[in-house]
Chain A
Amino acid sequence: MTRKGYMGKILMVDLSKGTIEEETLPDAIYEKYLGGMGLGAYILYNRIPKGADPLGPDNILGFLPGLLTGTGSLFTGRWMVVGKSPLTGTWGDANCGGTLSPEIKRCGYDGIFVKGISEKPVYLYIDDRVKELRDASEVWGMDAIETEEYLEKNAKKTGKKPKVACIGPAGEKVSLISGISTNKGRMAARSGLGAVMGSKRLKAIVLSGNKRIEAFNKEEMKKISKVCDFWAGIQPPFVTGPMTAFVGALMRILPTVLTQDGLLYKIMLKKWGTVAMNQMSPEMGDSPIKNWKGSSKDWGFRKSYSSNPDVFTKCETVKFHCYSCPVGCGGICTMEGKYTHTHKPEYETVLSLGGFCMNDDVNAIFYLNELLNRAGMDTVSAGHAVAFAIECYEEGVITKQDTDGLELTWGNSDAIVKLIEKMVKREGFGHVLADGVKQAVLRIGKGSEAFAVHAGGQEPAMHDSRNDPGFALHYSVEPTPGRHTLGSHLYYEMYQLWKVVKGIPKLPPLYFKGSKYNNSEKQAIIGAANSRYMTLVNATGACLFGAFIGAKRFRLFDWMNAATGWSLTPNQYMDLAGDIHTLKQAFNVKHGIEPKDMKISDRALGRPVQNEGANKGRTIEIEEMMSHYWEQFGWDQATGKPGQEAMDRISVGA
């Protein structure tokens, strides 16, 4: 048995042929690509043929735990699903917590990869002895939660309960904004990878392994985890929910801002979860309002009060911890109506279905959260599609005839609910929006692209790129465009990476807000460090929120060495991450993507500028920043394509 943190094997499933084969990987692969997203990038870059149809048999969908998952580290229970994204045509990945991640390793694998297309619906069942494709006709058509309950009960009759990842009806109907669900409503939602699973007619994977996950130096792992646990446990009393709005307003008004210590955010996460930001974010200008057109003037305290953080903790019955998480930002909430309980809606969900559509009906948000979780559809992209449609309607581009009679005005919660019900079923006007805003523009036409905000087809999340140029940069330059979890100036503040990585900028404890906007080269250097660090986080199965508590408290590099027996420095790990990043960019170039076309829509860059609110008068000089960022990785400054030297560093030809 290997004692290096990883299992040393992957599983390759071919749905067209009905074959399941194990492959042993040499240590050198792990030493270069680590695991998780890094390993996924290595396999997909080499094995998906050039120009493959994302919804065709050649696309490969991978499910990967992290290098550190199950090794005794904390905050490292996330799994990654990877594939060529049908939403953007680029490298696609989606990240999810819950309890599935260690189970992949307990079945003996560092990754399960699926290619081909099955003739009829199937699910993949794996335990210590059995690996087989089983008929899924009984669960095809069921929602994600019903599917999980059914398979938990019927796929394995004895012993430990199996873990399930599955698609809902949205994935079955190949909605390009569908995701993959686990733990009855947690979702690997982005990049449209649920559609890839649906196109393969793979309803679910069901895992039940018992293998031990080892670490090279278990005592050292525990030592580092205890430090992390100490910091994660610090929980002084904090302000009430609505008071967070005043903190946000203060941040909007003051010309300076304190470099944030992520411990503060951790305290808010443990108390409320991500909904802690529901009122603070719109106030400080972090949350786009009214399809990126509005501001805190449109979504003030009175409007946001209905979804203040305390509303969510009041109906929360129990905290939900992902595997190996000492914080537990998730929760299970009770609710009235058709569904009796739901996973606590996330901040992104609340704002994209709330302020973004000017909808202050929190009960509708609870209902839609559960509806979308069950359907297996991305709440962020769904909110974007709805807000886009509302603006089209308000501007007269579409009429009641197009919307099946729905009065699609800002904040009309009844119409929003009905529209999303149609989207998940792909009925009538719902079909127009069920593949995200880029496809909706193609279907509606008539100049509607003016209202569509996306990066290469991916709708960005509820973090305003005008408020933090880092978001603008990462939305535009990442091989996975339009994603908020890959970096920002704020994240860099919280990581405190300069305390462990040499040669990157140290931020002062206090700075003028304006200083973020006038030094694009420094922003690009910060952005490159963010991308590298996040690559490591995603390769190890770690959680962004864990990374937020700071690199000295969340000692990722030390955990990696203790788990594997390697002795690399943080800078060496950052270099490896840079190569993985190049590999993903090379994946995009191989598939004909022009990196400069992935730039986020003008409206999110302050073009035209806003006349009021926190981001008044701000424009992001994105082109200059993109160019400097590409330079950091040895990619061409004009095109963003990896140069020869960068390409030489990534090994090709497996």
Chain B
Amino acid sequence: MTYYITENCIGCTSCANLCPAGAISGEKKKRHTIDLEYCIECGTCGRICPKGAVEDSFGQVVKGEKRKFWKKPEFNHKKCSGCGICLDACPVGCITFGNPDPKSKTAYPELINLSGCISCGFCASDCPVDAIVLVLPAESESEAA
């Protein structure tokens, strides 16, 4: 039950370059394949694909989108307890603890590498208290509208 690359693939390699699990292989300009053993179902291949050549486990084509319109996590510190589950869930190591709150000395998670984020949403889905939502980055919001 993972993602699948269809014959529409032109071998541009962008999915293989971005896959955080290194699960995609193939020669340049030839159809690529996903190794089911390593795929972590983040869907990044589909989001980056310029040809709509990636299907999800239900056979639906994953909609590709320009990377600047990919949603990023936003952290709600009122709900967050600083438990660190999101840091561990991020497959690309984009989340880290920021400077601690001066009063409580609790450090809250923040996105340190905006461009490295692959918008997989694992941080949001794994957060046990739903303190993370994925939103369009502020600079892309006006453009998207």
Interface residues of A (CB under 8 A from B): 1, 70, 72-74, 77, 99, 102-103, 106, 128-129, 159-161, 210-212, 218, 221-222, 225-226, 229, 232-233, 313, 316-319, 321-328, 331
- Who on chain B is nearest to A223 by CB? B128
For the complex, give the distance between the alpha carbons of A102 and B122 in Å.
Answer: 14
Given A73-B128, A313-B105, output 17 extra A-B contacts at Cβ < 8 Å. A72-B126, A99-B88, A103-B88, A128-B21, A128-B38, A159-B20, A159-B92, A211-B40, A212-B122, A222-B130, A318-B97, A318-B105, A319-B100, A319-B105, A321-B81, A321-B83, A326-B81
Q: Which residues of A contact B91 (CB under 8 A)?
A: 160, 210
B106 within 8 Å of A (CB atoms): yes
Whether A324 touches B85, Cβ cut-off 8 Å, given contacts A129-B38, A161-B93, A318-B107, is yes
Task: Please tell me if B144 contacts chain A, counting CB pairs below 8 Å.
Answer: no
Known contacts A159-B93, A321-B83; A225 and B38 CB within 8 A of each other: no
Q: Are B81 and A229 in contact (CB under 8 A)?
A: yes
Which A residues lie within 8 Å of B38 (CB)?
128-129
The answer to whether A225 touches B92, judged by C-beta atoms less than 8 angstroms apart, is no
Q: Are B128 and A323 interface neighbours, CB within 8 A?
A: no
Whether A229 lies near B92 (C-beta < 8 A) is no
- A226 contact set on B, CB distance < 8 A: 128-130
* A317–B97 CA distance with the chains assembled, in angstroms: 13
Contacts A232-B81, A326-B83: A221 and B100 contacting too (C-beta < 8 A)? no
Interface of B is mostly: loop
Shortest A220–chain B CB gap in Å is 12
List the A side residues contacting B88 at CB < 8 Å.
Answer: 70, 99, 102-103, 106, 323
* Complex A-B: 28 CB contacts under 8 Å: A70-B88, A72-B85, A99-B87, A103-B88, A128-B21, A159-B93, A160-B92, A160-B93, A161-B93, A210-B20, A210-B21, A212-B41, A212-B122, A222-B129, A232-B81, A316-B105, A317-B100, A318-B106, A319-B100, A319-B106, A321-B106, A323-B83, A324-B85, A326-B81, A326-B82, A326-B83, A327-B81, A328-B81
Q: In the assembly, what is the distance between CA of A161 and CA of B129, in Å? A: 25
- Given A1-B1, A99-B84, A324-B85, A222 and B21 contact (CB-CB distance below 8 Å): no
Find the B residue at minimum CB distance from A212.
B40
Q: Given the known A-B contacts A99-B84, A318-B100, A321-B84, are A229 and B128 also in contact in the complex, defined by CB atoms under 8 Å?
A: yes
Question: B74-105 toward A: CB 8 Å interface, digit per residue (1/0)?
Answer: 00000001111101101111000100100011
Q: Which residues of A contact B122 (CB under 8 A)?
A: 212
Shortest Cβ distance from residue A209 to the other chain B in the assembled complex, whole angstroms: 10
Does B22 have its Cβ within 8 Å of any Cβ on chain A? yes
How long is the Cα–Cα vector from A327 to B107 in the complex, in angstroms?
A: 12
B residues touching A (Cβ–Cβ < 8 Å)? 1, 20-22, 38, 40-41, 81-85, 87-88, 90-93, 97, 100, 104-107, 122, 125-126, 128-130
* A3 to B106 Cα, complex, angstroms: 33
Interface-centre pick from A106, A221, A326, A327 (highest chain B CB count, 10 A): A326
CB neighbours of A1 from chain B (8 A): 1
- A425 vs B93: C-alpha distance in the bound complex, in angstroms? 37
On whether A128 and B22 interact (CB within 8 A), knowing A74-B128, A212-B41, A225-B128, the answer reads yes
Nearest CB of chain A from residue B117's CB, rounded to whole Å: 13
Q: Are B41 and A222 in contact (CB under 8 A)?
A: no
- Separation of A325 and B106 alpha carbons in the complex (Å): 12
Q: Is the CB of B128 within 8 A of A221?
A: yes
For the complex, give the distance between the alpha carbons of A225 and B81 in Å: 12
Closest CB-CB distance, A624 to chain B, in whole Å? 44
Contact A210 B40 (CB under 8 A): yes
- B2 CB to nearest A CB, Å: 8
- For residue A317, which residues in chain B have a CB less than 8 angstroms away from its CB? 100, 105
Q: Within the assembled complex, what's the spacing in Å between the Cα atoms of A323 and B21?
A: 22
What 3 pairs across the A-B complex have the smallest Cβ distances?
A225-B128, A326-B81, A160-B93
- Are A319 and B104 within 8 A (Cβ)? yes
Query: A225, B1: Cβ atoms under 8 Å?
Result: no
Give, as a whole number of angstroms, the nearest-CB distance from B62 to chain A.
Answer: 18
Q: Which residue of A lies closest to B130 (CB)?
A: A222
Residues of A within 8 A of B1 (CB): 1
CA distance A218 to B130 in the complex (A): 12
Contacts of B106 in A (CB 8 A): 318-319, 321, 328
Residues of B within 8 A of A319 (CB): 82, 100, 104-107
Rounded to whole Å, the gap between the CB of A503 and the closest CB of chain B is 32
In angstroms, Cα B97 to Cα A323, docked, is 12
Q: Which of B81, B100, B107, B125 has the most CB of A within 10 A?
A: B81
Chain A residues, Cβ within 8 Å of B82 = 319, 321, 326, 328
* B87, B90, B126 — most chain A CB neighbours (10 Å): B126
How far does the Cβ of B135 sit from chain A's closest Cβ, in whole Å?
20
In the bound assembly, the distance between CA atoms of A161 and B128 in angstroms comes to 23
- Nearest-CB distance from B9 to chain A (Å)? 23
State A100–B44 Cα separation when bound (angstroms).
26
Shortest C-beta distance, A396 to chain B (Å), equals: 48
Docked complex Cα distance between A319 and B88 (Å): 18
Contacts of A211 in B (CB 8 A): 40
Q: For the complex formed, measure the closest distance between the CB of B31 and the CB atoms of chain A, giving whole angstroms.
A: 22
In the complex, how many angstroms separate the beta carbon of A388 from the nearest chain B beta carbon?
A: 37
A443 to chain B, nearest CB (A): 44
Q: Is the CB of A72 within 8 A of B128?
A: yes
Minimum distance in angstroms from A614 CB to a CB of chain B: 33
CB nearest neighbor in B for A70: B88
Q: Is the CB of A74 within 8 A of B83?
A: yes
User: In the docked arrangement, what's the CA distance between A210 and B40, Å?
Assistant: 7
CA of A324 to CA of B93 in the docked complex: distance in angstroms?
17
Bound: A218/B122 CA distance, A: 13
CB distance from A26 to the nearest CB of B (A): 20
Determine the chain B residues whose CB is within 8 A of the CB of A225 once the complex forms: 128-129
Query: How far apart are B107's CB and chain A's nearest CB, in angstroms?
Result: 5
B84 close to A222 (CB less than 8 A): no
Q: How near does chain B come to A156, taking the closest CB pair, in angstroms?
A: 11
Please give the distance in Å from B67's CB to the nearest CB on chain A: 19
A211 to B38, CA, bound (A): 8
Assembly CA distance A605 to B95 (angstroms): 50
User: Which residues of the other chain, B, contact A72 by a CB distance below 8 angstroms?
Assistant: 85, 126, 128
Which of B38, B83, B93, B104 neighbours the largest number of chain A CB atoms within 10 Å of its CB? B83
A233 and B92 form a contact (CB under 8 A): no
The reply to whether A324 and B40 contact each other, CB–CB distance below 8 Å, is no
Contact A233 B81 (CB under 8 A): yes
Q: A210-B20, A229-B129 are in contact. Are A325 and B105 (CB under 8 A)?
A: no
A324 touches B105 (CB 8 A): no
Chain B residues, Cβ within 8 Å of A129: 22, 38
